[in-house]
Structure 1
Amino acid sequence: ELKKIERCRLLILDDAFLVPVDAKERPILLDIIEDRHERKSIIISSQLPVDNWYDAIGDPTVADAVLDRIVHTSYQIELTGESLRKIKAKNITK
């Protein structure tokens, strides 16, 4: 499975870190981020603020490595306002 991910020109991680990363997932996450760092594109979306990703990753050493590669070489777009799902749901119930 990792070989398929490595071949992708653009990898999208949607709803990242909503659930804490467990011990089995940490090295896989680090491998993926390391492989893509400054070579391939990745989009990460999360409802969790970037400041909370460190705790969600869990292990301080892995969190440092992952976030160092993500945060310092990325463009961050923070969306504010009401959820589009909530807005659409209001329109449906009218």
Structure 2
Amino acid sequence: MVNSGTGKSHVALGLGLAACQKGLAVGFITASALVHELLEARDEKRLLRLQKQLSKYSLLIIDELGYVPLSPTGAELLFKVFSQRYERGSTIVTSNLPFDEWTSTFGSERLTGALLDRLTHHVHILEMNAESYRLKHSRQSGRA
């Protein structure tokens, strides 16, 4: 387990800002919000439109993967997003979970294995194993 507050989202946002400054289309969303949007789009018969929109981003940042377990349908829809982006667009994923615990989020070893196979193919992994900067700040200001 990687600690909260170590700068994962901050680094992801910084990379996203740098991509924006170079004129690239960037999207940022939490994993749970994305799954919610995908499920809603499926129910409203506009899933293809949303998937097309997501594929247009040069960089898609998916934050906080693993905080909430996904329903089987939600996991499959999120997997499809990753599959459609594979070797077509860059994706940043932040998570507090090590890869061997992702099955608890996706609920299926087969689906998790296929997802990790795609995500880790052309990848740079940054492990942020530091103390929470929020906790550190609170201690320094005497509030903890």
Q: Say yes or no: TM over 0.5.
A: yes
Please identify, of 38-47 and 56-65, the stretch whose mean Cα deviation from structure 2 is larger.
56-65
Question: For the aligned residues, what is the CA RMSD?
Answer: 1.7
* Counterpart Cα distance in 1 of 2:62 and 2:78: 11
Deviation at 1:89? 2.7
Cα deviation digits, residues 2-55 of structure 1 (max 9, x gap): 222111111111111121121121221111111111121000111111221133
Q: 2:65 aligns with which of 4, 10, 16?
A: 16
Instruction: Give structure 1 stretches of 5+ with no counterpart.
Output: none
Paired-residue identity, %: 30
Given the superposition, is the C-alpha separation of residues 39 and 87 from structure 1 closer, same or farther in structure 2, using an over 3 Å criterion? Answer: same
**Matched residue, 1:71:** 120
2-side partners of 1:87 and 1:74: how far apart? 30
Mapped pair 1:54 → 2:103:
yes
Residue identity matched to 2:54: I
Compare 82-91 and 61-70 and name the one that shifted more.
82-91
Match of 2:90?
Answer: 41
Partner of 2:21: none
Match of 1:6 in 2: 55
- TM-score normalised per structure 1: 0.85
Q: Extract unaligned runs of 5+ from structure 2.
A: 1-49
Aligned length: 94
Larger radius of gyration: 2
